[in-house]
Amino acid sequence: MVVASVDNLADERSKAQFDVGAMKIVWAGSKHVFDVTDRMARIVASDPEFRKDNRTTLGRKELFKNTLRKMAHVVKRANELRLTEEEASKLRFFVDEPGYLDLHWGMFVPAIKGQGTEEQQEKWLPLASRMEIIGCYAQTELGHGSNVQGLETTATFDPKTDEFIIHSPSLTSYKWWPGGLGKVSTHVVVYARLVSGGQEHGIYGFIVQLRSLDDHTPLPGIIIGDIGTKFGSGAYNTMDNGFVCFNRVRIPRNHMLMRFCQVTREGNVCLSDVPKQMVYGTMVYVRQTIVSDASWALSRAVCIAVRYSAIRRQFGSQDRGIETQVLDYKTQQSRLFPLLASAYAFRFVGEWLKWLYADVTERLQANDFSTLPEAHACTAGLKSLTTSVTADAIEECRKLCGGHGYLCSSGLPELFAVYVPACTYEGDNVVLLLQVARFLVKTVSRLAAGKKPVGTTTYMGNAEHLMQCKSSASSPEDWLKPSVVLEAFEARAFRLAVACARDISKFSTPEAGFAELSIDLVEAAIAHCEVIVVSRFIEKVQQDIPGDGVKEQLQILCFIYALHLIHKHSGEFLSTGCITPEQATLANEQLRTLYGQVRPNAVSLVDAFNYTDHYLGSALGRYDGNVYATLYAQALRDPLNDTVVPDGYEEFIRPVLKQTMRLSRL
Ligand SMILES: CC/C=C\C/C=C\C/C=C\C/C=C\C/C=C\CCCC(=O)SCCNC(=O)CCNC(=O)[C@H](O)C(C)(C)COP(=O)(O)OP(=O)(O)OC[C@H]1O[C@@H](n2cnc3c(N)ncnc32)[C@H](O)[C@@H]1OP(=O)(O)O
Ligand SMILES: Cc1cc2nc3c(=O)[nH]c(=O)nc-3n(C[C@H](O)[C@H](O)[C@H](O)COP(=O)(O)OP(=O)(O)OC[C@H]3O[C@@H](n4cnc5c(N)ncnc54)[C@H](O)[C@@H]3O)c2cc1C
């Protein structure tokens, strides 16, 4: 079959104005990371055991067993190839299938590392690393998820036997949602209310064995299972999100994770001299990883939509000649290029957040807790911002691919279904933004007391200027000045935060004001998070970046990211008086020019993500652009096309046709 579309991507690639190889290194983070990532992606792509194109057609049981097989193959290959932790984690990533290994390595192990004493780590981590036990993380209950202090499960110390009794006192206290819990995990870190000497002492983590290591049956007192089928075909249904009820299950005292709080043999509760929020540490860690992951999911959707938009042609020719590539339509560009820019923006802010997390961890180890509130606000806020934008963007990419985007073979429906719970898990996005708002209001009220803001709120120290400044932009080109862009973002965020703090003070109590103004507070929190992303992107493009034209492309993307946000939130920029309507128009004009500049580079900018066709899993996003032949081949492989005459013809089609014939004779 002759496929004209293949040439389109080759043509597109020939137009690139930058060194794609160098951009690949920038995207990966370093040459070393690029090499590891590339090698692992190829290993997965070339192994038929990791095939995933049939996932959306499998029933739940088959799908789950298929995932178990893949996870076992991951462990086998990691051992055979003697992969390092970094390599094995990339290998799992490219297998691209949610499974119990994510929770074992992503939450169970970090919970023990973060909250266990050295002795406990020495006992449990080798077992977990060798996978002699499989663990998960059970915090959420049927009745409470966001409100962690509202959890009902109890861990009552029994000094007679030196044990804790783990108990679920009500249906709403059943643990509900933990991934890996339903069918696989042998162990779990359970979050429960510590009770000793008849008194409650707060929420802590406890390691509980769930299933026999001999025959996998639940241990006495444990009722356990899967919570049921979830949204979408394939998607997150590969995971056994589970429920568990504990009926007075006894565990040894030293199974409580005791780094921050110790219970003695006599039942005395000794709190270490650390903030009690340290027990939330695993959530902070995972939120930080979710920010990095957002850029992967977003870039994957954008890669599919950009390549397909270069292949797809509609209208534009009066004489039946060659039609216009949909990527050339300004409307398509204005929907797609900001998403491309956001993928790069999230990649860089994700890298920065990793650094921030490493920094705060180092300080915590030296008993310096001063940056913990900021680390919490940044991880919570950026988790919320990046996952919300990414989930919406995947759906937008589906629409950008027209009708074919709705086919499972486009890869986009499953990507959306698997990604969208990121807006909920590890903290509902609105609940997390309210945490950021709380931090901002506190920062603003401390300003009044003469306290200098630090870290990501340093800009608020420039209070007088930010409250009064008027943007100096008087031409479209002025919107390419980092100082002009940053000032507008900082002024908007600061003015929104100050207005919230001021309005809250008018209520009888701060709590009442906070509750009533929570809509405004969420907007202020988003504005602050956008300051962080924009300033990190600007910082990145001001560095030395090797490779012909690479820096120039990143500058274009950086300004697209910032200016599309000014357009999107123009109401806020205008109502806070940070810019005038004329300046908003100039920003839009500049944005249109930038779209024109990115256009010839768009395909190469997504090539720089270096995704294999296996990872993309999309007929529309293939590297070679052979879209139509692939769509057709995949349609032929659909189970419905196994027979020409469908199952059910005799029972349900033939009688209807016969009946219609009878009726027409009447
Ligand atoms: C296919 C998979 C794709 C992607 C996965 C990608 C990567 C992940 C990698 C590995 C993981 C593997 C798989 C992931 C998939 C799914 C995993 C999902 C796991 C879960 O969902 S686990 C459950 C998560 N649950 C939550 O997040 C609950 C949310 N709720 C909370 O965090 C809190 O309860 C709260 C913060 C909303 C409120 O808590 P509170 O009532 O105690 O607090 P207050 O509001 O009163 O605040 C008091 C005080 O404490 C400060 N604070 C709050 N939280 C923290 C914190 N975490 N750290 C530091 N400080 C904190 C707060 O600021 C207040 O301070 P102040 O000074 O008094 O103002
Ligand atoms: C796919 C998936 C995997 C998960 N994996 C795990 C896991 O491994 N381990 C685990 O322990 N948990 C897990 N969870 C549970 C997850 O962490 C919780 O669902 C999440 O924290 C949200 O809590 P919730 O369900 O109680 O939502 P709710 O808090 O009930 O939210 C419902 C609505 O109420 C709103 N709301 C709640 N509180 C407030 C407030 N104070 N102000 C304003 N609005 C509010 C929310 O914005 C939301 O719109 C998983 C969930 C999913 C979907």
One-letter amino acid at 40 equals M
Give the Cβ contact number of residue 369 at 10 Å. 16
Q: Which of 426, 444, 518 to mutate to test the pocket of ligand 1 (most atoms within 8 A of CB)?
A: 426
Q: How far is the CA of 214 from the centre of ligand 2 (A)?
A: 34
Give the position of tokens 């029972």.
651
Range of the domain at 263: 110-272
Give the Cβ contact number of residue 78 at 10 Å. 19
Q: How far is the CA of 434 from the centre of ligand 1 (A)?
A: 12
Q: How far is the CA of 347 from the centre of ligand 2 (A)?
A: 25
CA-closest residue to ligand 2 atom 21? 427
CA-closest residue to ligand 2 atom 2? 425
Max CA separation in the chain (angstroms) = 92
99 part of a folded domain: no
140 is in an annotated binding site: yes
Q: Which of 283, 433, 440 to mutate to test the pocket of ligand 1 (most atoms within 8 A of CB)?
A: 283
Report d(CA 159, CA 164) in Å as an integer: 9
277 lines ligand 1 (CB under 6 A): yes
Give per-10-residue mean pLDDT for the chain (666 aa): 61 97 98 98 98 93 97 97 97 98 98 97 98 98 98 98 98 98 98 97 98 98 98 95 98 97 97 90 96 97 98 85 94 98 98 96 92 96 98 98 98 98 98 98 94 96 97 98 98 98 96 97 98 98 97 98 98 98 98 98 98 98 97 96 96 90 65
Residues 6+ positions from 33 with CB-CB distance below 8 Å: none
Report d(CA 44, CA 48) in Å as an integer: 8
pLDDT of amino acid 321:
82
Q: Which of 187, 230, 424 to mutate to test the pocket of ligand 2 (most atoms within 8 A of CB)?
A: 424
pLDDT of amino acid 659:
82
137 lines ligand 1 (CB under 6 A): yes
Q: Is 665 helix (H, G, I), strand (E, B) or coil?
A: helix
Please give the number of the atom of ligand 1 that sits closest to the Cα of 427. 27
H helix or E strand, kind and range, residue 209: strand 199-209
Dihedrals phi, psi of 195, to nearest 5 degrees: -125, 125
379 part of a folded domain: no
First to last CA, the chain: 50
Do 135 and 187 contact (CB within 8 A), yes or no?
Answer: yes
One-letter amino acid at 490 equals E
Q: How many residues does the chain have?
A: 666
Proximal ligand: closest to the CA of 180? 2
340 lines ligand 2 (CB under 6 A): no
CA-closest residue to ligand 1 atom 30? 146
106 lines ligand 1 (CB under 6 A): yes
517 lines ligand 1 (CB under 6 A): no
Proximal ligand: closest to the CA of 517? 2
pTM over 0.95: yes
Total of domains in the chain: 1
Q: How far is CA 299 from the centre of its chain?
A: 12
Residues marked as catalytic: 426
| DSSP state at residue 646 | P
Q: How far is the CA of 422 from the centre of ligand 2 (A)?
A: 10
185 part of a folded domain: yes
Q: How far is the CA of 425 from the centre of ligand 2 (A)?
A: 6
Number of H helices, E strands in the chain: 24, 11
172 is in an annotated binding site: no
Proximal ligand: closest to the CA of 178? 2
Report d(CA 402, CA 315) in Å as an integer: 14
Report d(CA 613, CA 609) in Å as an integer: 12
As a whole number of Å, the CA-based R_g of the chain is 27
146 lines ligand 2 (CB under 6 A): yes
In terms of Cα–Cα distance, which of 139, 134, 163, 137 is closest to 153? 139
Proximal ligand: closest to the CA of 369? 1
Distances (CA, A) of 228 to 60, 135, 239, 279: 9, 20, 10, 30
Task: Provide the token pair at 229.
Answer: 């089928």
293 lines ligand 1 (CB under 6 A): yes
Residues 6+ positions from 544 with CB-CB distance below 8 Å: none
Do 282 and 376 contact (CB within 8 A), yes or no?
Answer: no
324 part of a folded domain: no
15 part of a folded domain: no
Q: DSSP letter string over 75-117?
A: HHHHHHTT--HHHHHHHHHHH----HHHHIIIIIHHHHHHHS-
pLDDT of amino acid 666:
59
Report the sign of the C-alpha dihedral through residues 403, 404, 408, 414, in that order. negative
Give the position of tokens 């074919």.
404
Task: Provide the token pair at 263.
Answer: 């219970």
Residues 6+ positions from 517 with CB-CB distance below 8 Å: 500, 503, 504
Please give the number of the atom of ligand 1 that sits closest to the Cα of 145. 28
421 lines ligand 2 (CB under 6 A): yes
431 lines ligand 1 (CB under 6 A): yes
Q: How far is the CA of 211 from the centre of ligand 1 (A)?
A: 28
Kindly report the CATH number assigned to the domain that includes residue 268: 2.40.110.10
428 lines ligand 2 (CB under 6 A): yes
ipTM for the whole complex: 0.97
pLDDT of amino acid 273:
85
Dihedrals phi, psi of 543, to nearest 5 degrees: -80, 170
Please give the number of the atom of ligand 2 that sits closest to the Cα of 191. 11
One-letter amino acid at 34 equals F
237 part of a folded domain: yes
Report d(CA 333, CA 566) in Å as an integer: 17
Q: How far is the CA of 447 from the centre of ligand 2 (A)?
A: 33
146 lines ligand 1 (CB under 6 A): yes
Burial 442-463 (b: 16+ CB within 10 A, else e): ebbeebeeeeebebbbebbeee
One-letter amino acid at 227 equals I
Report d(CA 310, CA 635) in Å as an integer: 22
| DSSP state at residue 612 | -
User: Helical H runs in 449-509?
Assistant: 463-468, 482-504
The region that residue 200 occupies, defined by phi over 0 for left and psi between -120 and 50 for alpha, beta otherwise, is beta
Q: How far is the CA of 431 from the centre of ligand 2 (A)?
A: 9
Q: DSSP letter string over 61-81?
A: HHHHHHHHHHHHHHHHHHHHT
CA angle 659, 663, 666 (to 5 degrees): 145
pLDDT of amino acid 8:
79
Do 255 and 206 contact (CB within 8 A), yes or no?
Answer: yes
Do 269 and 261 contact (CB within 8 A), yes or no?
Answer: yes
